[in-house]
Structure 1
Amino acid sequence: MNFENLEIKVEDLPDFEKVEFKSISKKYLYVIFFNWTIIAIVVFTGSLIVNFFQRQLFGSYFKYILGFLVFFLILNFILSYFGFFKKKYAIRNQDVIFQSGLIKTTTIIIPFNRIQHVSLEEGWLSRVLDLKAISIFTAGQSGGDIKIPGLDNEVSLKINQLILNKIEDEVSEEKSEEKSSEIDGLETDEQSEIIFENRKDEI
């Protein structure tokens, strides 16, 4: 058998950026807003309580600290809000793609044959909004796990079932290949025995 190592042109490689990405549900914005509201309430309440009982701890600097906290919370809320529009996903025949990140865009591509298991998650607010998050875990691939939040309930169930079917198909295919290899091995052993017996007869 001749060994070949042909050149592959870069321009001929598939471009994942041409994939039509789907956005997560806009109802997920309510979850973002609610989460940051709770964080803001906890931070401000905690700051006021500490300042009330330990006024000498911050002294005249308390207003600057409070101003910094306000700026920090507003900045993170803005980043979370605009980051929402960067969370997109796509399902192809062989893999799942998830894209996120406002300042730095991160794209994770997970082939179906690397998926170990998948799960659906929902908090109480997501349940009220009929939303779910789908978590995809890979087999022995560090940093390859992804979580796609803000999916409509029906969409998440369809994606979950699709991935489960793909995993089942991959397992069935692997078993078929193993069985085929075993059969080929048995045929080879039988052929060897026949050749050995023929040689014995000749002797």
Structure 2
Amino acid sequence: MFTNTQIDIETLPKVSDIALIPVEKSYIKIVLFNLCVIFISIIGTLFGLKFLKEDSKFDSIATTLIIGLIVVFIVQFVVLVLGFKNRKYALREKDIIYTKGLLNFSTTILPFNRVQHVEISRSFLARKLNLATLEIYTAGESGSDLKIGGLPEDVAESINEYLTTMLDDRV
């Protein structure tokens, strides 16, 4: 006979009780550099178009767009800096947890039994700072399900090796 007993929510383990490890503080340099590159490219393009195109109406629109982009850049910069302290992770016996965000805070818990593939990537700046990004893939998704940037290179390698060994043991 089918039964479906109710679970007492008070007895469930709380994610907030887990000791999360913050990503490396130097990773903020990479995050902010990427933000600056994007906004400088867009604003630079608008400046170039503004001076190449001799149209007062376009000049007015471009100036408004540039000012708007500068305001968006400043807001995004502040949100990234303030939210950076929330980028934390924890490796547990059966899963990995990652939290991030300020205005849009999220917690991702990925059980190891769903992991299909693990990768480590390192950009040019990340290599200079000895950092890496760990990407964990599960079945049925078209991208990584969990991406943790700002890990020390040796920590990312250790987690990668641990998960790969776990995957090999399942086969």
Cα shift at 1:30: 1.1
Residue 198 of structure 1 is matched in structure 2 by none
In 1, distance between residues paired with 2:60 and 2:97? Answer: 51
**Identity of aligned pairs, percent?**
34
The C-alpha deviation readout for 1:9-40, integer Å capped at 9, x for no partner, is 22111222211111100110110222122223
Residue 55 of structure 1: SS of its match in structure 2? coil
In 2, distance between residues paired with 1:55 and 1:75? Answer: 31
Residue 85 of structure 1: SS of its match in structure 2? helix
For the pair shown, which has the larger CA radius of gyration, 1 or 2? 1
Residue 70 of structure 1: SS of its match in structure 2? helix
In 2, distance between residues paired with 1:63 and 1:6? Answer: 63
Tell me which amino acid in the other structure corresponds to 1:24: V
Cα shift at 1:54: 1.1
Residue 21 of structure 1 is matched in structure 2 by 20
TM-score where L is the length of structure 1: 0.76
Question: Structure 1, unaligned stretches of length 5 or more?
Answer: 172-203
Question: Once superposed, which parts of structure 1, at least 4 consecutive aligned residues long, lie more than 6 Å away?
Answer: none
Q: Which moved more, 1:20-29 or 1:7-16?
A: 7-16
Residue 110 of structure 2 is matched in structure 1 by 110
What value does the CA root-mean-square deviation take over the aligned residues? Answer: 2.1
Report the CA distance shift for 1:70/1:89 in structure 2 as closer, same or farther (over 3 A): same
In 2, distance between residues paired with 1:60 and 1:14? Answer: 57
Question: Structure 2, unaligned stretches of length 5 or more?
Answer: none
Aligned length: 170
Cα shift at 1:72: 1.1
Residue 35 of structure 1 is matched in structure 2 by 34
Residue 86 of structure 2: SS of its match in structure 1? coil
Q: How does 1:85-164 map onto structure 2 within 5 Å?
A: 85-140=85-140, 145-164=145-164
Report the CA distance shift for 1:13/1:170 in structure 2 as closer, same or farther (over 3 A): farther
Higher relative contact order (CA 8 A, sep 6+): 2
